[in-house]
A and B are shown apart, each in its own frame.
Chain A
Amino acid sequence: MNVVTPFEGIGASVRRKEDVRFLSGRGQYTDDINRPGQAHAWILRSQHAHARIQGIDTAAAAAMPGVVAIYTSADLAAIGGLPCGWQIHNKDGSPMAEPKHPVLAEGKVRHVGDPIAVVIAETRAQARDAAEAIIVDFEVLPAVSQTTAALAADAPRVHDDVAGNLCYDWHIGDKGAVDAAFAAAAHRVVFETTNQRLVPNAMEPRCAVGDYDTTTGEHTLFTTSQNPHVIRLLMGAFVLQIPEAKLRVVAPDVGGGFGSKIYHYAEEAIVTWAAAKLGRAVKWTADRTEAFMSDAHGRDHVTRAELALDKEGTFLGLRVLTHANMGAYLSTFAPCVPTYLYATLLAGVYSTPAIYAEVKAVFTHTVPVDAYRGAGRPEATYLLERLVDVAAKQCGFDRVKLRRRNFIATDAFPYQTPVALQYDSGDYFSTLDQALKTADWAGFEARRAEARMRGKLRGIGISTYLEACGIAPSAVVGSLGARAGLYEVGVIRVHPTGSVTVLTGAHSHGQGHETTFAQLVADKLGVPIANVDIVHGDTAKVPFGMGTYGSRSLAVGGSAMDKAMDKIIAKAKRIAAHLMEASVEDVEFERGTFRVAGTDKTKTLTDVSLAAYVPHNYPIDEIEPGLEETAFYDPKNFTYPGGCHIAEVEIEMETGRVSMVNFTAVDDVGRVINPMIVEGQVQGGVAQGIGQALLEACVYDQDGQLMSGSMMDYTMPRADDLAPVSVATHTTLCTHNPLGVKGCGEVGAIGSPPAVINAVVDALRDYGVEHIEMPATAPKIWSIIHGKSV
């Protein structure tokens, strides 16, 4: 019988169902999958940022041991380019420039890592050896890697048919209103900054295994993806022209994504195509060096912002000009990141009445840039929260009071911003107050003085932020240029003996869905989580779903499950009414038990499910047998998590090294299903945010060489770079989804970078610095303290 004790439903910190598998080495990641007769692919990539390919000589390579085949773009003439899933329109209404993104380079390479040829051999080592023997005749061309330089009149062109390397020139907001606000302002504050390029670096490198059944003509792709259905749609319909019914995409256990595994990548198409061509499975696994030059990067904005304030500090207007680097080609969702996931967030938590933002997206000879944890929202938050601190300093306001003065009032929801979004709920005052108290903001000066006695510079910084996630109403995103809907699917299958299988289009790659989603079922249907199995990541099992990104799994995917459970309950009540010889209106249901209201007549969910599948005594003319329901849920709005992050740092004067000493996060993520998992998500997000603030930078030189192309050159946060993070939540419910949830996957990475930089600048307040660009590395800070450059 299904009895839930102890409580495993909404709000319980249930230990994760998936952990034993991962802790004992029994996870099934893509690279753990080996198909009978499998061959191995190695991809020859460009070492140049920009070059014309005069010729490719594969003769020597083809003769090497174990080589099965070598393919270049000439062999792929019949297949399409990699599609872009979001079309932005220019200010004048014309569509963005959308140059072809070939699977293998056609005539030219446009970034270091651009794939040129693929070698397929019996072993990975043989494929790699042979790739090294391919001779490519390059004519090296001048390249441009920096965002603003790409727009210069004499800049090398990335695509011959894209003048000025301009992908789009877009805007949002009311320019006239902003101009008027500035004309009337007492204070005008200008802030310029670069939000540096980052490499997502999920610990599992990407991998793809293509397989083909010569008997049935069925293609299978196992891939490290956050959204297998999206890959099936994009690759099947646009690249390889394989009908959905003949293409199965499986994303098994995936070792972290952070956005980088949303996109459809060339290697997926290559192994799927080659497997069919050769009639045998083909596996490709990236090594880390390849990941650096082929996984989509994140961020890379250059921005100038101006804030207009009145005498008392009320924000009157905000004007923003951002240059966003798209890299050499448009990755799947790249165009929407600096527009609808960034500029629409520029109101933040403030009631700024007039906002105008222009975004120019440019092509450069670099790896494509797309969504990375937070995607646009960290860039917006960083800009605003640094700008507010700069304004406080320049105009002589207290930085906390200035924020509080401009917060959207708690009774002003739903709140329409001047940049399209309508926030449904929030309480920025409470998250601020709670964070100030937890971080002992009031007692900070004593800690600063104490640190000074130890020869350390101590600083404290704050960030009050908001983000939009749970993407998003299909009709809305459609009107903004999305070439997909953004609903989610959930299937609830109650088995004859009362255990439950849930099929979801969301995908778990660390988020713990197998646990959280089971808790939803435990809470509503009263089935113990041990009897609830969550199935995801396989297009052959799950109906079409959109996958996991933008903190949408629970808000959209969970809501779909909730809706499907409503259908289950409605049907089960009718069956229970029959079994109890009552009228359906009189049947109540709570956590696994049906009761005739006001009586002690009950039936369990198991009684009902058994009757549904063994319909001997059953109203077969009125109710179909079986107990399985599908729901598609299309969200009504974004959800709007927000909160307050406070960072406390100490700087060692001799070296300039910054140490995190305290970090406080108070987040409103809506209703919390599993507090332990929420805390873990925030901790992980904050670690990535601190990484951006202090350590990480993807560096290209002027000529487009990738200077930070390995983990020896790109600084990943390690355990001793970080400090304990205190995580708390303060909940206001989302008003438009049935669970009241908002999402917690990205808040950490969104709120934290400006808190850390604000703290670093505060620590250096005696040195006359107004701003320090991320990452705030020891050499930069040492130069400030010692008044000379390193």
Chain B
Amino acid sequence: MPQVTLTVNGKTHTVEVEGRTLLVELLREKLRLTGTHVGCDTSQCGACVVHIDGNSVKSCTTLAVMADGASVTTIEGLAAADGTLHPMQEAFREYHALQCGFCTPGMVMSAVDLVAKNPQGLSEQEIREGLEGNLCRCTGYHNIVKAIAAAQDVMHGKRTSIAAAAE
């Protein structure tokens, strides 16, 4: 069986996998990082999004072996070590951008990458288009869009905190 060595949330792991093992299976089943979810089998929903070397990727459509040597960040690794939430997490809470929470890890990871890649700032419509790869059945997206808009101001240093953005 192939061996994969990868860094997940700052910790290095060497794991034996089948050739067909998906990255999401490695994360959930071998490393027991169950924050990353599986919501579909056709790469439509984005519940499985993680960052590989700083890029958002659908871990259900990535073979574990493809992540060999990579640095992976999952939702469990987004907050600061002391538990301080990332501005995107904070914004999702402040704007009630989650209900059942199942799409949330993927949604947050996608949103963080979307904002990081667009330092010029995104309009509401651009945020909606940027979420094309993520499905949420609960919220109707409106509050997710608002949360991302608020988080980008904090992530780009235009405001100091989500609470300030919420004023």
On A, residues with C-beta under 8 Å from B are 15-16, 18-29, 31-32, 34, 125, 201-205, 253-256, 258, 287-289, 509-512, 676-677, 679-681, 683-688, 710-712, 716-720, 722, 724-725, 748
Contact = CB atoms under 8 A, between A and B. Distances in A.
Interface string B108-132: 1000000000000000010111011
B139 A683 contact: yes
Interface string B90-109: 00111010111111110010
Given A20-B93, A125-B18, A684-B99, A510 B104 contact: no
B142 to A, nearest CB: 5
Contacts of A510: 99-101, 138
Given A256-B100, A509-B100, A676-B96, A20 B85 contact: yes
From B36, B42, B101, name the one whose CB has the most chain A CB atoms within 10 angstroms: B101
Given A25-B33, A32-B28, 6 more contacts: A20-B85, A29-B34, A203-B135, A289-B41, A710-B44, A711-B44
A24 B79 contact: yes
B76 interface: yes
Contact of A258 (B18, B38, B93, B137): B137
Given A686-B140, A719-B132, A719-B144, A15 B100 contact: no
A509 B131 CA distance: 23
A318 to B, nearest CB: 32
Given A23-B89, A125-B18, A720 B131 contact: yes
B91 to A, nearest CB: 10
Contacts of A686: 140
A203 B137 contact: yes
Contacts of B132: 718-720
Contacts of A719: 127-129, 131-132, 134, 141, 144-145
A161 to B, nearest CB: 37
Nearest to A33: B34
Nearest to B85: A23
A125 B136 CA distance: 27
Contacts of B76: 24-26
B154 interface: no
29 contacts: A15-B94, A18-B101, A23-B98, A24-B35, A24-B79, A25-B34, A27-B101, A27-B102, A29-B37, A31-B38, A34-B32, A202-B137, A203-B39, A203-B47, A203-B136, A205-B39, A255-B39, A256-B99, A288-B39, A288-B41, A676-B96, A680-B96, A683-B139, A684-B137, A687-B139, A710-B41, A712-B44, A719-B129, A720-B125
A710 B41 CA distance: 8
A529 to B, nearest CB: 15
Shortest Cβ-Cβ A-B pairs, 10 listed? A25-B35, A255-B102, A22-B101, A687-B140, A510-B100, A510-B99, A25-B75, A32-B34, A711-B44, A683-B140
A25 B36 contact: yes
A712 B40 CA distance: 10
B47 to A, nearest CB: 6
Contacts of B20: 125
B165 to A, nearest CB: 14
B45 interface: yes
Contact of B142 (A201, A683, A718): A683
Contacts of B40: 287-288, 710-711
Contacts of B135: 203, 711, 716, 718
B59 interface: no
Contact of A22 (B47, B98, B142): B98
B5 interface: no
B78 A680 contact: no
Given A711-B44, A712-B42, A720-B125, A27 B35 contact: yes
A722 B141 contact: yes
Given A287-B41, A720-B125, A720-B132, A16 B96 contact: yes
Given A24-B78, A719-B145, A720-B131, A204 B140 contact: no
A688 B101 contact: no
Contacts of B161: none
Given A15-B93, A255-B102, A684-B99, A288 B85 contact: no
B74 interface: yes
Interface string B12-39: 0000001010000000100011111111
The DSSP consensus for interface residues of chain B is: loop
B35 A16 contact: no
Contacts of A685: 140
Nearest to A256: B100
Contacts, number: 178
Contacts of B39: 203-205, 255, 288
A684 B100 CA distance: 11
A16 B140 contact: no
Contacts of B37: 29, 203-204, 255
B55 interface: no
A19 B138 CA distance: 14
A680 B139 contact: yes
A664 B134 CA distance: 25
Contacts of A688: 137, 140
Nearest to B127: A719
Contacts of A289: 41-42
Nearest to B95: A676
Nearest to B140: A687
Contacts of A254: 100
From A21, A23, A205, name the one whose CB has the most chain B CB atoms within 10 angstroms: A23
B100 A204 contact: yes
Given A203-B39, A511-B99, A677-B96, A725 B142 contact: yes
A718 B94 contact: no
Contacts of A720: 125, 128-129, 131-132
A23 B85 CA distance: 9
A435 B8 CA distance: 50
A23 B108 contact: yes
Contacts of B96: 15-16, 676-677, 679-680
B131 A718 contact: yes
A225 B12 CA distance: 37
B101 A255 contact: yes
A463 B37 CA distance: 37
A711 B141 CA distance: 18
From B44, B103, B127, B137, name the one whose CB has the most chain A CB atoms within 10 angstroms: B137
B159 to A, nearest CB: 18
A32 to B, nearest CB: 4
From B18, B41, B89, B108, name the one whose CB has the most chain A CB atoms within 10 angstroms: B41
B99 A725 contact: no
A287 B104 CA distance: 19
A20 B98 CA distance: 11
A254 B102 CA distance: 8
Contacts of B136: 203
From A19, A253, A256, A676, name the one whose CB has the most chain B CB atoms within 10 angstroms: A19
B57 to A, nearest CB: 16
From B37, B125, B127, B141, name the one whose CB has the most chain A CB atoms within 10 angstroms: B141
B133 to A, nearest CB: 9
Contacts of B92: 19, 23
Contact of B138 (A18, A20, A256, A712): A256
Contacts of A205: 38-39
A512 B99 contact: yes
Contacts of A288: 39-42, 44-45
A202 B127 CA distance: 23
A547 to B, nearest CB: 15
Given A15-B94, A25-B105, A680-B143, A202 B129 contact: no
A677 B139 CA distance: 10
Contacts of A716: 44, 135, 137
Nearest to A680: B96
Contacts of A258: 137
B109 to A, nearest CB: 10
B41 A684 contact: no
Contacts of B38: 31, 205, 287
B100 to A, nearest CB: 3
